[in-house]
Structure 1
């Protein structure tokens, strides 16, 4: 399948980080991680979804968690040293990140934000994150992504 390079891919290229692009057919009615994992033929626990969260100061926080898990807002707030955090409203996603639902990547967001990743990512030689566009995923070494984005690794799932 042909694709155009996304900003996330260009950022990885510039940083000389190895990655593989995985393409899949987009179903506008099903943007769930389990659908993506099935279509790219990868285990759901290595397909990480990127979530946008706001702290009490309305600052954006990014969280990457396995597709088969749910974010624990209290754990994230504690790790991020915030009193309270809440999910960013979907209508604000494009404005705040430059991405649409189903295509949000931890890479190439409008500006750098505090980013957190579920610690289970370190259990795998490679994980998958969005390439910044529906229908495209990036498979890469989790430590490369963590080092590049200065991601804080912690237990942030329920």
Structure 2
């Protein structure tokens, strides 16, 4: 897969953002985030998954959270100013984002949606997100990612006490 240029990778390059590609095997076509972290030898707290949601207003939003965490829908709704927000159906991912399940990057979607990255990303200089294809992750500076996709750092996860 070396040298593959996805929309996400192209956008990083056009904006002169440094990144490292991490490849992994996904023989069944999709791995959950924890399996991706394990396959790439990364700390799951530094590997983030991209979730696409729809509010009661019918607007779409993107939340980027650690793979070992669960999204708090109430926190997401409050941040985006929605009464209610929910995950879109897996079958709608490609139609909405241009990406497929398991390969959805917060960078380079068909449209730039309002995006929030969980505040835990601030604990790291770099985080790992999908590079826009199953089997491909990109390690990128948090500040570069926030600026590129115009995202906010927000508390988005369910706190496991």
TM-score band by shorter chain is over 0.9
Give the whole-Å Cα distance in 1 for the aligned partners of 2:24 and 2:157.
27
Q: CA deviation at 1:27?
A: 3.5
Q: CA deviation at 1:13?
A: 0.4
Give the whole-Å Cα distance in 2 for the aligned partners of 1:29 and 1:144.
29
Q: TM-score, normalised by structure 1?
A: 0.96
Matched with 1:13 is 13
Could you say what secondary structure the match of 1:128 adopts?
strand
Give the whole-Å Cα distance in 2 for the aligned partners of 1:121 and 1:28.
29
Q: Is the 8 A contact 2:105 2:131 kept in 1?
A: yes
Q: CA deviation at 1:2?
A: 2.4
Q: CA deviation at 1:152?
A: 1.1
Give the whole-Å Cα distance in 2 for the aligned partners of 1:3 and 1:58.
37
Matched with 1:82 is 82
Give the whole-Å Cα distance in 2 for the aligned partners of 1:9 and 1:120.
24
Alignment of 1:30-109 (within 5 A): 31-109=31-109
Could you say what secondary structure the match of 1:94 adopts?
helix
Structure 1: stretches of 5+ with no match in the other structure: none
Instruction: Calculate the aligned-residue CA RMSD, in Å.
Output: 1.1
